[in-house]
Chains A and B, each alone.
Chain A
């Protein structure tokens, strides 16, 4: 049973009724909660506590002593406690209950509990007894909602407006207000993105998500409380409290976990988190069907503020994000390569249910003009769904080398066809130079070079610094070295961490022992420069340098025990390598 059989306008009308019903329902839930709180109070006042010793002869409600001959009390049918004459409520001349049992009865009647019980007898196998059909329909619609059911083109503005204003003044759910909300939200974030730093924006998004999670778990807990209070078995107060506590914990748990997942999937407030999520998105690109569509981008450079401004205008005809459900909530992510850290990542807002999203959002990088020549703009389009993995839709790489920012004609937007995910291996980029000194030393100090080549010695690599490094400058760095010997044997070394100040001389020493010069000739030395972010344990590969080939090693062979200096090109591939 769902609403998919109805025509769009009919469905709209029914949904409007269901939302009206929801308002009434929440009012009713509030009322029931109040009733139950009152009941709890009454119960607490009249409860015999376990710690105190009560004589048999006290009223269970007012705790006044009962007489042996008069005011002896009588056992209440509901709770089996002995009750004095005053704590009774007579329903008929003879039929009575104690005050608490009567209150239970009242709540059961007034809360509609009786109805659920009766229905439970007829439909014992239904799982959600308390859930009304309206609630169910609304939920299932919201689940499927806006994806397969809602027509891709919204009904004309005027129709919707008429519909929602003519009926009872509940506009919360109509597509008109939804799209208005979206509009306002995207407008706000748009403004902020320009004016504020990125972290501020992220924080804003976070609060939005928090709110949503809270309201959701709140409504769930409402129903939880009504199921928790089943009155016919005369539950004890402690039971009620226990259940109350339980669901409180559950809600707080679900709340925090919900918020966490939100943060993980859509936010990058911390550097670690940001890179995590981008690794995740990168990982999910496998096996996707042919990429379609185009993206409209305009680039401009503001010489006043030294900012690269990227206007993500729109996409058209992009493919659906989900494999099974044909849905698409696209957003655009931008990196200024070669920097693939979270600091370089910018994102647009997510558009709902469209393969022709219009973003009109400007993203900015603060970067010196002369550094742009070595950069590449990496623009990718992703499908984002709450609590699900991101799905790659397409990307485009725009090398900024030779881009004439000075020429105003380059500022107009252009359509770029989206490409499938590029294989990073092919697109190596030089990000800087790694300065190293290498020395081969032999403990026996023989001068005969021929015999030296077959004797085991040690190779010392001293990393002294980097030059012309693009990307982040702060933080600390370390080097991982691996020497691959002809037999396939790999010797690995890791240097200590050093503060990564560009001008400072480093002395990161790696020592590979028990190698012969003969072996070295056919060996490959890989030096990976890693970035370690401050206050975090996350590591990021900045680039890899290689020392290989006979000419390099020959110098060592000819002059052992002497430092030989090399400037090795540090390369990074667009594909991130994991630590």
Chain B
């Protein structure tokens, strides 16, 4: 579905997609993104000052609606990393409005970080670009099985309640990291198409739609 790009400094890409990682302090947002972009793991905890971002270029293959694999696009990902600390809250939430999709993260070894997912959801609702933006729920530190405090079932239920995908990842091993990001990218790409095609799909000149829908079908037979 994707592969890493080589050069990052030119404008040779088709889409700029801005994603943002959020969640409590210490859940592993920075290491998660570091694993995703550089495929490396840094076990040291360095608290993020305010905001930061990482970039990655991937190739996205669109699945066209009729089932066949469609065109491929170069996508430039801007992955915003936010400080989980409360004191940066006003700064970080301000950046929510510019992101097209969100990685809402919690720490599988911290019940509290999971409980706070609710608060983060309401923050998103208030500050994101729309009422129901594309979000992926990510339970990180899945490798630390013996310290686990949040059960998969619990988290899955919450994700279902919000109607968003859920992944259990490990920045340390890299498990599910790529998959969760690509799932979010896919959601955003689909949302994008929907947004553009919506006006006619809803049929703001509905009368014409049915009439014109028939026209091309007729046309085909005419072998033009």
Q: Taking beta carbons and an 8 Å cutoff, which residues of A are in contact with B?
A: 1, 3, 5-6, 10, 13-14, 17, 20-21, 24, 27-28, 30-31, 34, 70-72, 74-75, 77-78, 84-86, 88, 90-96, 105, 108-110, 112, 114-115, 117-119, 121-123, 132-134, 137, 232
Q: Does B118 contact A (CB under 8 A)?
A: no
CA distance A259 to B87 in the complex (A): 43
A77 and B200 contact, Cβ closer than 8 Å, known pairs A31-B11, A70-B224 = yes
Contact A27 B66 (CB under 8 A): no
- Name the distance in Å between A557's Cβ and chain B's nearest Cβ: 87
Q: Does B197 contact A (CB under 8 A)?
A: yes
A77 and B129 contact, Cβ closer than 8 Å, known pairs A14-B50, A27-B9 = no
Contact A96 B98 (CB under 8 A): no
Chain A residue nearest to B14 in the complex (CB): A110
Contact B219 A133 (CB under 8 A): no
A115 and B100 contact, Cβ closer than 8 Å, known pairs A20-B53, A27-B9 = yes
Q: Does B145 contact A (CB under 8 A)?
A: no
Contact B97 A123 (CB under 8 A): yes
Chain B residue nearest to A117 in the complex (CB): B195
Contact B11 A119 (CB under 8 A): no
Contact bitstring B1-38, A, C-beta under 8 A = 1, else 0: 00000000111011110000000000000000000000
Q: Does B43 contact A (CB under 8 A)?
A: no
Contact B195 A133 (CB under 8 A): no
Contact B224 A13 (CB under 8 A): no
Contact A77 B9 (CB under 8 A): no
Contact A75 B11 (CB under 8 A): no
Q: Taking beta carbons and an 8 Å cutoff, which residues of B are in contact with A?
A: 9-11, 13-16, 49-53, 55, 65-66, 78, 90-91, 94-95, 97-98, 100, 129-131, 192-193, 195-197, 199-200, 205, 208-209, 212-213, 215-217, 219, 222-224
Contacts of A74 in B (CB 8 A): 212, 215-216, 219
- Name the distance in Å between B29's Cβ and chain A's nearest Cβ: 15
Contact B131 A122 (CB under 8 A): yes
Contacts of B130 in A (CB 8 A): 118-119, 121-122
Contacts of A110 in B (CB 8 A): 14-15
Contacts of A13 in B (CB 8 A): 49-50
Chain B residue nearest to A78 in the complex (CB): B200
A27 and B196 contact, Cβ closer than 8 Å, known pairs A122-B131, A133-B95 = no
Contacts of B50 in A (CB 8 A): 6, 10, 13-14, 17
CA distance A191 to B218 in the complex (A): 80
CA distance A71 to B95 in the complex (A): 52
Contact A14 B219 (CB under 8 A): no
Contact A114 B195 (CB under 8 A): yes
Chain B residue nearest to A27 in the complex (CB): B11
Contacts of A117 in B (CB 8 A): 195
Contact A134 B95 (CB under 8 A): yes
Contacts of B100 in A (CB 8 A): 112, 115
